[in-house]
Amino acid sequence: MGRILAAADIGSNTVHLLVAETNGSSLRRIANESDWLGLGEIVAAHGCLPSGAVEKLVRSLKSMRGIAASCKAQGLYVFATEAMRIARNHSEVLKLIKKRTGLEVAVIPGRMEAELSLSGAMLDSGGASDFTLFEIGGGSAQVAHCVDGKILEEASLPLGTGRLRVDAALGNPPSADEIALLQQIVNESVNNLEVPISKSGVASGGVARGMIRALHPDGDPVVFLEEMDFLAWSTARMTYQTVAARFNVRLKRAEALLPGATVYAALCRRFGFDKIRVSEYGVREGAILYMANGRLKPCPI
């Protein structure tokens, strides 16, 4: 039997809790809960986290701490990514979270986010030894060249789905001019990437798994470039409500499909991939493995 540990990720789309039993090299999920707060889109629009969003975040973290405790987790590591990194008032928000919940939140840099994602994705990478790891969130996109389980080079791009919805002013449904602006923003950023070409592409995170849910009801983890193009083309012509019904996804996930598919398709073209494999695991699983191996220190519950 392994240790029971918990990780809570304050992401730019969701706040997500994972509780798992692990021996340091594998894990078994016990609880997997999320709240969609859309912090990346909020910060992109306002530059900070308004009081209403902070209250929702505090309530979510209190609930997640309770879930972790009920699962008898031995520790909880809470970390935040791009939305918190760039919010002007993030220092005040972190102090308030500590006061109201007792939890210390680590605001991790893009490199650390990529390393945790790689650790999780290696659980089902299919033995790939030379690949490019992609993770698109609500606030940014992480790209890392990985060889033998290590990151050689990485980059963080301002191409999160929530940020793109604001930057391209996407309507519901978007206009032809808004779609053109979205593609321009994405292509300009992706074409300036200097990460080396690798043998294959692996994606992790909720946006990639959202593509799987929309395109592959059978759960097949391999998504082809043509499918990404189809998803971007079709979702650009529907309201979010129609997208949710047509592709059988939650409304909030439906809002992320157009920018997400657009970015993934552009990345595939930049690296010459005709397909990518989507990992079932990611940054939270990586954080739990890091805790189990003494590389991260969790908060007591």
Domain of 62: which CATH number?
A: 3.30.420.40
Q: 238 and 288, same structural domain?
A: no
Structurally, how many domains does the chain consist of?
2
Quick check: is 118 in a domain? Answer: no
> Is residue 138 domain-shared with residue 218, that is, in the same domain?
yes
The answer to whether residues 288 and 235 belong to one domain is: no
Mean pLDDT of the chain: 96
The tens digit of pLDDT for each residue in 172-231 reads 999 999 999 999 999 999 999 999 989 999 999 999 999 999 999 999 999 999 999 999
Do residue 148 and residue 93 come from a single domain? Answer: no
Beta strands 200-204 and 130-136 are parallel
Q: Is residue 104 domain-shared with residue 143, that is, in the same domain?
A: no
Q: What per-residue confidence (pLDDT) applies to 161? A: 97
The residue range of the domain holding 190 is 126-278
Judge if 166 and 219 occupy the same domain. Answer: yes
How many percent of the chain have pLDDT more than 90?
96
Asked whether the predicted pLDDT for residue 273 surpasses 90, the reply is yes
146 and 253 part of one domain = yes
Report residue 107: phi and psi, to 5°: -90, 105
Query: Are residues 62 and 151 located together in one domain of the fold?
Result: no
Let me know whether 130 and 274 are in one domain.
Answer: yes
Cis omega (within 30 of 0) for bond into 298: no
Both 161 and 215 in one domain: the answer is yes
CATH of the domain at 188: 3.30.420.150
Residue 116 lies in a domain: no
Is 288 domain-assigned?
A: yes
Question: Is residue 166 included in any domain, yes or no?
Answer: yes
Backbone φ, ψ for residue 159 (5° rounding):
-125, 35
87 shares its domain with 197:
no
Closest CA to 133 of 147, 149, 148, 145: 145
- State pLDDT tens for residues 16-47: 999 999 999 999 999 999 999 999 999 999 99
Asked whether residue 120 is assigned to any structural domain, the reply reads no
| pLDDT mean over 157-186 | 97
268 and 153 together in one domain: yes
Residue 299 belongs to a domain: no
pLDDT-derived band of residue 128, with 50, 70 and 90 as boundaries? confident
Look at residue 152 in the predicted model and tell me its pLDDT. Answer: 96
pLDDT attached to residue 301:
87
